[in-house]
Structure 1
Amino acid sequence: MPPNIPTILLLGTCDTKLSELLYTKSQIESTNATVLLMDTGRNPITHEEIAIPQSALLTTTTASIPTPDLTTLTRAEYITTLIPYATKKVTHLHEHHQIHGILAIGGSCGTTLAATVMRDALPVGFPKLLVSTMASGDVGPFIGETDISMMYSVVDIAGRNRIVEGVLDNAAGGIVGMAGAFLKRERGSTAEIEVSSRVRIGISMFGVTTPGVTRARERLEEVLGGCEVYVFHATGSGGRALERLVREGQIDAVLDLTTTEVVDEVVGGVLSAGPGRLTAASVRDIPRVVSVGACDMVNFGEVGTVPATFREGKRLLHEHNATVTLMRTTKKECVEIGRFIAGNLLDSRDRGQLRRTKVILPVGGVSMLDVAGQPFHDPEADEALFSTLERELEGSGICVMRDPRDINDPSFAVAVADELVKLIRQ
């Protein structure tokens, strides 16, 4: 049974921010929570309050691998070297239920190190809070597709003063509250055990596939009763989050109706989810229905941000709104997109078990803009996508089906939802 009092892992560079870390530790302990202070500094520090010194992180059980001397490395090299050691330690603490929340404080280097450890070592749902001088700018590179909470330090974390201490006070209270909620969930109850047995389904959605996805979600909830449906906005980070949760085992089945992020990866748009999109469910072999929602478009920002090569090529552009410009995919690009999707669907350890994946192609249109009378309606480009998928997946065990309706047709949405239900029940 988990303890009643949460344990917080406090992470920071003790060679530069020991005073601030000790102050934060005392504020957390004033709530009766337990604190483990981990030193991620470049120069080793000895202090009785440090529970996990730098030396403990760098200890290796392999005699052939020498212990790195971080003091001889540049700042960038030290961060790159220490990250896997710190990640391994934090992973161990989490897997053995020894911590219930993590708090880190730092400048640009400390933030990079701490954020990477949080992303790589801890699953979505585990409390993560990072007080940083970088938190008022673009935090996307730090947070990625995870649920790290970032708090701006306002002034640099370089010595104690009323502003810094006020921010650290709030951070201490915040992480204790978050860890307490996590600990309560971890202890569990009859109701929570019942909730944890529900089928968890991930669905991908974009503005131009919203009607279809909404009806599919409603259908799943009607048929499967207490299932939990998580909708992911296909903006790059949404697709990465879907892949991550599938890898972590937090999703049991996927209705991947909107695979538009693949288009941006292949053609060069701004909403790519990376080269690994669609692979996690293949590796885990979970029930999955895939379609090609919004594969008729490449995403850019304002019209002026569309690369000159596309503008000069007289490509078909559509201003979705003042900040989003869409570009219609060509027949050639659709062939490349089909090959990419097929390749990632086949990226599994055991291709003999791919019968738990079905691909359903909406011949009537892959988005709101790809139906008769709309600007992106291009049956020839769609046919290039459909026929490529059929050809590339032939003999793989993956069932590929054509459906005459468009992706937002309510009856199509019900049909694909029902196909996923069949796979789940099998």
Structure 2
Amino acid sequence: MPPTILLLGTCDTKLPELLYTKSQIETTNTAVLLMDISRTPTTHPSISIPQTSLLPTSPQTPNLSTLSRAEYITTLTPYAVEKVSTLYKAGQIHGILGLGGSCGTTLATSVMRDALPVGFPKLMVSTMASGDVGAYIGETDISMMYSVVDIAGRNRLLEGVLSNAAGGISGMARSYFSRGSRGEDKGVRIGISMFGVTTPGVTAARERLESVLEGCEVYVFHATGSGGRALERLAREGQIDAVLDLTTTEVADEVVGGVLSAGDERLRAATERNIPRVVSVGACDMVNFGEPESVPVRFREEKRVFHEHNATVTLMRTTKRECADIGVFIAGNLLRGAKEGEAKRTKMILPVRGISMLDLPGQPFQDSEANETLFSTLERELEGSGISVRRDPRDINDPDFAVMVADELVNLIRGG
């Protein structure tokens, strides 16, 4: 059997373009299921999954055509997600392609994000793809293709874009289809969080893990908000088996109001799954902003300690009060969602000499009092929780510290 593409679009407004794309995919000997995510139901023999089949047959089911665009998207999305998730779990689809303007893109990418795991081929042809697409992609691996012209009538230019999209998703689906048939590597998969100011320590820890755990795979996540969200997502999906969370700096941005927050669920997924995890407080000495003028006025008026990392990144040192709040947040999420009575598989290790490159003696963010507040808060909040908290005299980028935390994680993985 050939691989199958799920083609998403609003058939009430874009049926000719969807049918053309379907025909182009089929020229590659790839099957297509066309799913209608319209506001108004459309009937056509080529529509495999009509809009009406997505909704429950109940007197309470709203008529989508009477709703506003925003209400229609909010109402239809969970039903579309449920349907696509069912198709994926049954192994009936091997790639997904969406076509749309702003509304169609919002709905289709929501389905891609919520119904399908990272690694499943996802492509979105959109009029919105030349701008900031962060809201559509989130922490997933959706590929965006700009339609150049509006998806509103066939012409040579648009047909060229759609033909390329058809070829692209067909190739991705064939690769995914073939990869799945070969089976998966059974080596342990480890997620590590890293920032520029913790890179030496993370690199040494990664090399130690790869040398000690034969066949392991190490995934390094840049702690820029989306990186932390991706780490959480993969842990929740079961695509990560253990975590070395050395760099929890995104918590500082969430608590203080920086631009690189990973949200209020950071550190939750590994807790809920209770997978082996070693956590530290790398780069919790800093909050991230853009160019200097982007720093909120209230912080500039407080005459805080700033460091210009580069022309587009300004760092601000966290205070004792903020470090206390960061400690409470970290401890809370290390415990929130844990199953009652289950032995914890998490260790917290605190590098006393410095928590980043900028927090060493003589460096601009060195502040032993703020660090002490962070450390003591974590010790107090986690006391009696079953999570051990240990201080280490070295700094987070010390090679020996990196080897030690890697070995602690290996011990947890092996059941120690």
The TM-score bracket by the shorter chain reads over 0.9
Contact kept, 8 Å, 1:282 with 1:354, in 2: the verdict is: no
Q: Which runs of 5+ in 2 are unaligned?
A: none
CA distance in 1, matches of 2:383, 2:375: 12
- 2:220 is matched with which residue? 231
Point out 4+ residue stretches in structure 1 off by more than 6 angstroms: none
Question: Which residue identity is paired with 1:186?
Answer: G
Alpha-carbon contact 1:353-1:397 (below 8 Å) kept: no
Partner of 2:7: 10
Count of residue pairs the alignment pairs up: 415
TM-score by length of 2: 0.99
CA contact (8 A) 1:103 1:129 kept: yes
Partner deviation per Cα, 1:150-195 (whole Å, 9 max, x = no partner) = 000000000000010000000000000000000011112xxx44x2
State how far apart, in whole Å, the 2-side matches of 1:318 and 1:128 are. Answer: 39
Indicate if the aligned counterparts of 1:253 and 1:287 stay in contact, CA closer than 8 A.
Answer: yes
Task: Find the aligned partners of 1:214 and 1:104 in 2 and give their Cα distance.
Answer: 38
Instruction: Name the CA distance, whole Å, in 2 between partners of 1:150 and 1:359.
Output: 39
Residue 141 of structure 2 corresponds to 147
* SS of 1:251 mapped into structure 2: coil
Aligned identity (percent) is 76
Residue-by-residue CA offset, 1:254-286 (whole Å, 9 max, x unaligned)? 000000000000000000000000000000000
The 8 Å contact of residues 354 and 396 in structure 1, kept in 2 or not, is answered as no
Whole-angstrom CA distance in 2 between matches of 1:354 and 1:236: 30
Write the deviation string for residues 13-35 of structure 1: whole angstroms up to 9, x where unpaired.
Answer: 00000000000000001111110
Question: How far off its partner does 1:348 sit?
Answer: 2.0
Q: Residue type matched to 2:385 in 1?
A: S
Deviation string, structure 1 residues 359-390 (Cα, Å, up to 9, x no partner)? 00000100000010100000000000000000
Partner residue in 2 for 1:244: 233
- The answer to whether the Cα contact below 8 Å between 2:274 and 2:344 also exists between their aligned partners in 1 is no
Q: Which residue of 1 aligns with 2:54?
A: 57
Give the structure 2 partner of residue 166 of structure 1: 160
Cα offset, 1:145, TM superposition = 0.1
Report if the CA contact (8 A) 1:153-1:167 is conserved: yes
Contact 1:58 1:68 in 2 (8 A): no
Which residue type is aligned with residue 167 of structure 1?
Answer: V
2:196 to 207, 220, 228: 207
Say whether 1:121 aligns with 2:115.
yes
Match among 34, 37, 41 for residue 38 of structure 2: 41
Structure 1 vs Structure 2 CA RMSD = 0.8
| Alpha carbons of structure 1 residues 334 and 351: separation in structure 2 relative to 1, 3 Å | farther
Amino acid at match of 1:204: S
Question: Counterparts of 2:77 and 2:337 in 1: how far apart (Å)?
Answer: 28
The answer to whether the aligner puts 1:381 opposite 2:370 as a matched pair is: yes
**Which deviations, in whole Å up to 9, do the C-alpha atoms of 1:321-372 show, x marking residues without a partner?**
1100000000000000000000000012414335200000000100000010
The correspondence for 1:77, drawn from 71, 81, 102, is 71
1:271 aligns with 2:260: yes
* 2:53 maps to amino acid: A
Q: Which stretches in structure 1 are left out of the alignment for 5+ residues? A: none
- Give the match for residue 318 of structure 2: 329
Residues 220 and 417 in structure 1, CA contact (< 8 A), matched pair in contact too: yes
Q: Is residue 280–residue 348 contact of structure 2 (8 Å, CA) maintained in 1?
A: yes
Q: Secondary structure at the match of 2:344?
A: helix
- Give the CA deviation at 1:225: 1.5
SS at 1:145 equivalent? coil
Could you tell me how far apart the structure 1 residues matched to 2:33 and 2:136 are?
23
The SS at the match of 1:157 is coil
SS in 2 for 1:137: coil
Q: Distance in 2 between matches of 1:30 and 1:274?
A: 43
- What is the distance in 2 between the residues matched to 1:279 and 1:353? 16
Distance 2:346 2:307 in 1: 33
User: Which residue does 2:410 correspond to in 1?
Assistant: 421
- In the alignment, is the contact (CA less than 8 A) between 1:247 and 1:281 conserved in 2? yes
Cα distance in 2, alignment partners of residues 399 and 390 from structure 1: 9
CA separation in 2, counterparts of 1:352 and 1:420?
A: 22
User: Does structure 1 retain, via aligned residues, the 8 Å contact 2:189–2:216?
Assistant: yes
Corresponding residue of 1:260: 249
Structure 1 residue 28 corresponds to structure 2 residue 25: yes
The CA distance in 1 between the partners of 2:56 and 2:88, in whole Å, is 19
Greater shift, 85-94 or 343-352, is seen at 343-352
Give the 3-state SS of the residue equivalent to 1:333 in structure 2. Answer: helix
**Alpha carbons 2:289, 2:315 under 8 Å: kept:** yes
CA distance in 2, matches of 1:230, 1:75: 39
